[in-house]
Amino acid sequence: ETGVTQTPRHLVMGMTNKKSLKCEQHLGHNAMYWYKQSAKKPLELMFVYSLEERVENNSVPSRFSPECPNSSHLFLHLHTLQPEDSALYLCASSQEVTSSYEQYFGPGTRLTVT
Amino acid sequence: DAKTTQPNSMESNEEEPVHLPCNHSTISGTDYIHWYRQLPSQGPEYVIHGLTSNVNNRMASLAIAEDRKSSTLILHRATLRDAAVYYCILREPDWTGGYNKLIFGAGTRLAVHP
């Protein structure tokens, strides 16, 4: 499945580093999402974008900064992360943000903060 | 979103049918029942969804109880590739004004034996 791609697939960063995660969807969708999946915990919704406009920020710390320059691309900028931020970060897209269309997920970026 | 309850794990043999249960006793009259699954090292993928009537697609069947307080995802012939975590999720319809939220629980981890 190549509808939603994420890069890099794996990332190791120190607590003082700045890095960015990239997501691209080739499905012509208008809504994009970031989720976090920590070990032993359910997926948590972080951010929702509709037509490049953020419509939900789910109480995420400011060390995570999303950016959606167009409806096909979504970034998650990371700075001064903590070891507990180590997780699988998943990007998803859907036709619209308010419809009941299914979400399509990317393979995720496995992030390790040292 | 209303809560769902699923068994933590289930096992099946290859080529046999699998019935994955989900209880949602507090479901509202307009909530849709969605199923996603997450294969190892991948993002979740949509499986099926329904409202009141049973539904079939190429991946699975969804049987919904008459009172809608429970549902069952049916894999007609399990394959090794079906080993995954299966999530049962309730979603509000568009007109409630909610975003296209997916709230994941712990799901059911399905093991398929050769």
Which residues of chain A are within 8 Å of residue B105 when distances are taken between CB atoms? 42
Would you call B96 helix, strand, or coil by DSSP?
helix
What's the rounded mean pLDDT across residues A87-103?
A: 87
> Cα separation of A100 and A110, whole Å?
28
Residues of A in contact with B98 (CB under 8 A): 98
Nearest by CB: B99 against A42, A98, A107: A98
Residue A12 is predicted with a pLDDT of 96
- The whole-angstrom distance between residue A10's C-alpha and the CA centroid of its chain comes to 14
Rounded to whole angstroms, the Cα distance separating A18 from B107 reads 34
Best CA proximity match to A3, nearest among A102, A88, A111, A75: A102
- Return d(Cα B78, Cα A2) in angstroms, integer: 25
Report CB contact under 8 Å: B42, A43: no
Q: Is the pLDDT of residue A99 over 60?
A: no
Report pLDDT digits (tens) over A17-68: 899 999 999 999 999 999 999 987 889 999 999 888 888 777 899 999 999 9
Q: What is the pLDDT confidence band of residue A83, given thresholds at 50, 70 and 90?
A: very high
Distance from CA of residue A72 to its chain's centroid? 13
Q: Using CA atoms, how far apart are residues B30 and A49, in angstroms rounded to an integer?
A: 25
**φ, ψ (nearest 5 deg) of residue B53:** -90, 155
Q: Say which of A31, A90, A101 has its CB closest to residue B43.
A: A90
Cβ A1–B45 below 8 Å, yes or no?
Answer: yes
Of B5 and A96, which is predicted with more confidence? B5
Distance of CA A33 to the CA centre of its chain: 6
Distance from CA of A58 to the nearest CA of B (A): 11
Outline where DSSP puts E strands in chain B. 9-13, 18-23, 32-38, 45-50, 55-56, 61-64, 70-75, 84-91, 108-113
Weakly modelled stretches of chain B, pLDDT under 50:
none
Nearest-CA distance from A53 to chain B in Å? Answer: 13
Q: Is the pLDDT of residue A2 over 80?
A: no
| A104–B94 C-beta distance less than 8 A | no
CA distance B53 to B39: 27
* The predicted structure's pLDDT at residue B47: 96
Q: Which residue of B has its CA nearest to A31?
A: B100
Which pLDDT band holds residue A92 (cuts at 50, 70, 90)?
very high
